[in-house]
Structure 1
Amino acid sequence: MFPESCVVRKLVLTRDGSFGSFAATDILKATIAIIYRQRLGQEETESLANRYLHTQEQKVRLGFEFPQRRDSFTIGRLAAKLALECHLDDVLPNDVAIGSGVFHQPIIMGASVRCCELGVSISHSDQICVAVIHHKGHPIGVDVENLAEADVVSVLSDVNARLRQQFFKLSLNEYEAASILWVGRESLGKVLTTGMTVPLKLYEPTSVSEVEAGFKLSYKT
């Protein structure tokens, strides 16, 4: 639709172990949308908002006092709707509203039975916005972050020697290690819908390893 500004892709997940009460073909599917904010002009943003957003979302976005907050909300909802449109081709995005829970987590609200099975995770930075539509039986949390240099020391302050050694073996500097840890914490907090309301020690991984173009964090629980 606007290839220079956005990428939308269906994902096929893999999992070792149980699939709960659902078939693997149902829950091992997700769709990701990435919007490059600097490539999306204000006029195009407004046009897409009028096309994709529910009247309830329009009311919320127009109620923000500050333009930056309004833009972040709008881009986040647009990314979610683009992912939803690709994930469910028989659902009109503007018939579905994405509300907020008590922890400000996004919640899909739509009349479609298929929508009721889905969850969404949204994150954005100054450069990009990412949204992932997933089955609630296989929750996914997504986070993008531009970690401030000043936050590196505090993020790494409680990391044990074993984990530090693993980062060293992967040739990651302190900024890279802190960024991976923070994104992992945020993503896991979204999956558990606890955010940063629990001690950060609970989000500490037991191991980190390199997997293809990324890194895998493993946890005890």
Structure 2
Amino acid sequence: MNMYSGQILLGRENELFRAGFCLIKATLPGLLERSNMLHPSESMYFNTLKYDRRKTSYLLGRIAAKNAVLQQINQEVAPNSFSVTYGVFQFPVVKHLPSNNIQVSISHCDQIGFAVGFPEEHPMGIDIEKIDADKIEAMKSMICAEEFDKINTLPVSILIGSTLIWTIKEALSKVLRTGLMIDFKILEIGELKKEEESYTSTFKHFSQYKAVSYHVGDYIYSLVLPKNTSCDLVQFHNILRTL
């Protein structure tokens, strides 16, 4: 198992917030060695799962989420003393922590788990997606003509560009706690540009948010956060490249 955790400082004009993150790359046998991190209610649910693929995705998400939350609160708390459950629209909810305003965003793909823990005052959302030609038509159906024009200004293929936009919209939908139930047209990209090591974007209808995305190997990772927040993602990006 490869597992990396860290913190991201989130600078606002008059305040500084802290987010925690965790990235995991592991198969089921390695994840099972960490299953003692599960809260009793999580263990009970896990024991009902029949298929290895579902067991893997559940453990990737929960173990990443626990470590991200622990990085955020920066306290000595047993991972199995709190749980990460689901809200009515399937967004993650942290329970049984001494601090009640901690939230978490979770994503997983193949053998990679990714989570960010953050204070309620400073919303964030994340997504990871594998670049997969078999998904191109589904992704393109969620992208408007103006967004294809933006892809064409970047030094990337339509496949990579479509995956990039998909992850950005998916991450924003997690901030809004709607998931895929929202019309993706509402999440339309405003600006999209290539920086040195990342892609940055804004939103046409949600101008208070921005996204930072990274293309590493066969995957694209996106983080959405308030537009006027400053943060240093160098450590995060370096960890991505080690997975």
Q: TM-score w.r.t. structure 1 length? A: 0.84
Once the two structures are TM-superposed, the CA of residue 71 in structure 1 deviates from its matched residue by: 1.7
1:32·1:131 contact (CA, 8 Å) conserved in 2? yes
Change (3 A) 1:174 1:193: same
1:84·1:93 contact (CA, 8 Å) conserved in 2? no
Whichever residue aligns with residue 155 of structure 2, its letter is S
Q: Does 1:214 align with 2:207?
A: no
1:49·1:74 contact (CA, 8 Å) conserved in 2? yes
Q: Where does residue 31 of structure 1 map in the other structure?
A: 20
Q: 2:184 aligns with which of 187, 200, 203?
A: 200
Distance 1:154 1:141 in 2: 22
Q: Does 1:58 align with 2:4?
A: no
Q: Which is richer in strand?
A: 2
Q: Where does residue 96 of structure 2 map in the other structure?
A: 110
2:131·2:160 contact (CA, 8 Å) conserved in 1? no
Once the two structures are TM-superposed, the CA of residue 147 in structure 1 deviates from its matched residue by: 4.2
Aligned residues: 204
Distance 2:32 2:149 in 1: 48
Whichever residue aligns with residue 68 of structure 2, its letter is A
2:125·2:172 contact (CA, 8 Å) conserved in 1? yes
Identity level (%):
26
Whichever residue aligns with residue 15 of structure 2, its letter is A
Once the two structures are TM-superposed, the CA of residue 152 in structure 1 deviates from its matched residue by: 2.0
Corresponding residue SS for 1:83: helix
Distance 1:217 1:117 in 2: 28
Q: TM-score w.r.t. structure 2 length? A: 0.77
Aligned 1:35-46 pairs, distance under 5 A: 35-38=24-27, 42=29, 44-46=30-32
Distance 2:140 2:57 in 1: 29
| Structure 1 stretches lacking a partner, 5+ long | 18-22
Q: Which is richer in helix?
A: 1
Cα root mean square deviation, aligned: 2.0
Once the two structures are TM-superposed, the CA of residue 151 in structure 1 deviates from its matched residue by: 3.0
| Structure 2 stretches lacking a partner, 5+ long | 207-243
